[in-house]
Chain A
Amino acid sequence: MCLAVPVKIVEINKEGATNGSPAGATGEVAGVRREVNTGFLKDLKIGDYVLLHAGFAIQKVDTTEAKKTLKIWEEIEEDAKE
């Protein structure tokens, strides 16, 4: 039930979400567009990735940290080749 998926913000909707929530954006995941309530996050920009849980963005994905983790895997692959 605590499922949250990373979605890309593709639109900021100043007038709010269609269910009446005051803060809104549109997100996209695997080609599907979803309404995102952005009330818990500040300074969201188009192109940011957020974790979407039950219609609400609960955190911005930290791209630097995401890359760092993946860099570890790249290094593992390099090690494996040697």
Chain B
Amino acid sequence: MKYIDEYSDSKAVAFLLGKISELSLKIGRKVRIMEVCGTHTMNIGRSGLRKTLPENLKLLSGPGCPVCVTPPEYLSATMGLLEGGAIITTFGDMTKIPDSRGRKLSEYPETKVKFLYSPADALKIAKENPAKEIVFLGVGFETTAPLIAAVIERAKKEKINNFSCFSSHKVMPPALKALADDRQSRVDGFLLPGHVSVVIGRKGYEGLDIRGAIAGFEPTDILRGVKELLEQITGDEKKIVNCYKRAVREKGNSAMREILYKVFKPADARWRGMGNIPGSGLAIKDEYARWDTVEKFNLSLSAEPEPEGCRCGEVLKGRCIPPDCSLFQKSCTPQNPVGPCMVSSEGACNAYFRYEVAHDEE
């Protein structure tokens, strides 16, 4: 496929790996790079890159898997809405996470829980089911939230009043700041999420005191980002560099940010495993309260505990890797997940299970 295949060229991969080895050797000490985005985690696993890197260079997965960082109380509230008769519309991965009582959305019939390809389809469902309440699970970062904002704006314009959005949207820069401030994470540099950056631009990271490389998702894109970070370390520099210029502009996509902040306002948000991060969430503005599930159903969410023994929280902060968790591959597998990082195909535990560890032959 154009703009994909040519970025997986094996000669270019070999060249970049050579440069990365030279730079790692020069640095000498252990280097910890966090790939923030879940799609990076998945593609690093799928391409086998993690194992080809020098011994002293560690790639750690970050909190950029939206399903993984959605807190358990959000799921419980969703189950409540479902049992109250609402039709839940969502992207696929959300349906596989067990709530604190072990219930999953995937266990409900298709008439009650509907997978969407595009959030715009939720309005079509709302029109087809005028006597039902249609709730869209708003889970995602800056890449996805403007799409939902456009859908909410359209619901208002077309007076589709049986549709609402249950927003658990989050934004990336405050989470990056929290990670940079976390002494136990000890991240030397961040591989920044390419498609969040399409929206916020390189400028969206201004003010963060971090070493960052905005990277695309093909093997050479990822390695170019890693090489850039290693060069910054050897040159004792700290800056944000755009290594994904075919998609990311300096100022991002202003039309997407405009609709995003027309409908949403910054709010504090609880991230699974990371706790409350000020200003890291997106709440629906008062003008759109009629399409806000929280307002419409008068929901109040209180923090619920994580599953016992699950170390997803530490994985998301780069404090440990999935095989360090005693549940990993034992009581927690993609078929029978305990924590959210094992559920989502972009979750670190799921990617490690599928690509990074050996499995016993059946």
Contacts and interface: CB of A to CB of B under 8 A. Distances in A.
Note whether A and B form a binding pair: yes
Interface residues of A, number: 40
A30 to B, nearest CB: 5
A1 B245 contact: no
A73 B3 contact: no
Interface string B1-17: 11110110101100100
Nearest to A70: B6
Interface residues of B, number: 55
B124 interface: yes
A42 B140 CA distance: 24
A54 B38 contact: no
A80 B10 CA distance: 13
B199 A58 contact: yes
Given A2-B196, A54-B91, A37 B220 contact: no
Given A21-B154, A49-B3, A73-B220, A59 B147 contact: no
Given A58-B195, A62-B249, A72-B12, 17 more contacts: A2-B39, A2-B144, A3-B39, A5-B1, A19-B124, A20-B123, A37-B118, A40-B253, A49-B2, A53-B143, A59-B248, A59-B253, A62-B247, A69-B7, A69-B224, A70-B7, A76-B11
A21 B124 CA distance: 10
B246 A65 contact: yes
A23 to B, nearest CB: 10
A22 B225 CA distance: 37
B135 interface: no
A59 B198 contact: yes
B118 A1 contact: no
B256 interface: yes
Contacts, number: 138
Interface of B: 1-4, 6-7, 9, 11-12, 15, 37-39, 64-67, 91, 93, 117-121, 123-124, 127, 139-141, 143-144, 146-147, 150, 154, 193-196, 198-199, 220, 224, 245-249, 253, 255-256, 259, 344, 346
Contact of A58 (B2, B37, B93, B198): B198
Nearest to B4: A6
A56 B140 CA distance: 15
Given A53-B195, A58-B256, A80-B15, A2 B143 contact: yes
Given A49-B3, A73-B12, A2 B37 contact: yes
Interface in A9-41: 17, 19-22, 29-30, 37, 39-41
Given A19-B118, A58-B195, A62-B246, A40 B255 contact: yes
B198 A1 contact: no
